[in-house]
Copies of this chain bind each other. A is one copy, B any other.
Amino acid sequence: MKKKADWREFQPLIESALKRYLPSDTAYPSEVHEAMRYAVLGEGKRFRPALVLSACEAVGGNPKQALLPACAVEFVHAYSLIHDDLPALDNDEMRRGKPTCHKKFGEAIAILAGDALLTQAFHLLSEAKPPEKALHLIRELADAAGTKGMVGGQVVDILLARNGANREVDLSTLDYISQHKTGRLIQASAVLGAIVGTSSSSKIKRIREFGWLLGFAFQVVDDIMDGDGYLRVMSSDEACQKAESLIEKAKQEAESFGKKGKRLTSVADFLNVPVGSKN
């Protein structure tokens, strides 16, 4: 019996690529390289990089050729977590069962390690081939990470928190935060894989739609887990319904790629697994 295609099969490949593309922790000045490796390596499920590879496969590409953007996306994700965890932002002391980067290395080194990971992400992408695709990847990732994407979502999230957790919030603000803070980088992960795997703009467009649905669903599921966000404006049942509907549509998009889209479908399926095992 043939094994079911599953995105988790990509994890070892991704893990070794991440180690390879991170600066050695013995390189001078070692403190910042240790902090970068600490933040990236270890407990991650590699959801985003596996999505890059799965989307590449779905559009007909060789997933191994998407390892470079896969690592770039994970570096951006790791940088965003380091900065998000800082005392001035979420002030988190633990992440994935270990001290956050600033608790371990101090705030200054943590801030700079985050900066360096963001910089390294673009450096990595500049090595992609051919040049036109490399630039396409860089534009897509910069769009997703900047104020029209992730940073924009973080800003609105912070302003909302500043106004007090109990203050009234409307659905459109929550949608904005979900779609930008979390959704945009997940969408970009899928798109980056598609850019590597195909030159067909219509396939890339379909993957973009898939990524949007998946990224949105990811945040709704996250809110259900945390009992926050959408649960401030809708019941748990309504939120689950919203998530299910988004996941269903995402799966339909993934399935439209036929046999090659099986692993991408498994990525959407993952959002159904019990809460707490995602990250």
Contact = CB atoms under 8 A, between A and B. Distances in A.
Interface of A: 23, 27-29, 31-33, 36, 79, 83, 86, 88-89, 106-109, 111-112, 114-116, 118-120, 122-123, 125-127, 131-132, 134-135, 138-139, 142-143, 145-147, 151-152, 154-156, 158-159
18 contacts: A27-B147, A29-B147, A29-B159, A31-B159, A83-B115, A88-B107, A88-B111, A109-B158, A112-B155, A112-B158, A116-B147, A118-B118, A119-B142, A119-B145, A119-B146, A120-B147, A126-B135, A127-B139
Contact of A143 (B123, B138, B151): B123
The 10 residue pairs across chains A and B that have the minimum distance between CB atoms: A88-B107, A123-B142, A131-B131, A119-B146, A122-B122, A126-B138, A29-B155, A32-B155, A126-B139, A116-B151
B108 A122 contact: no
Nearest to A139: B126
Given A29-B156, A83-B111, A123 B147 contact: no
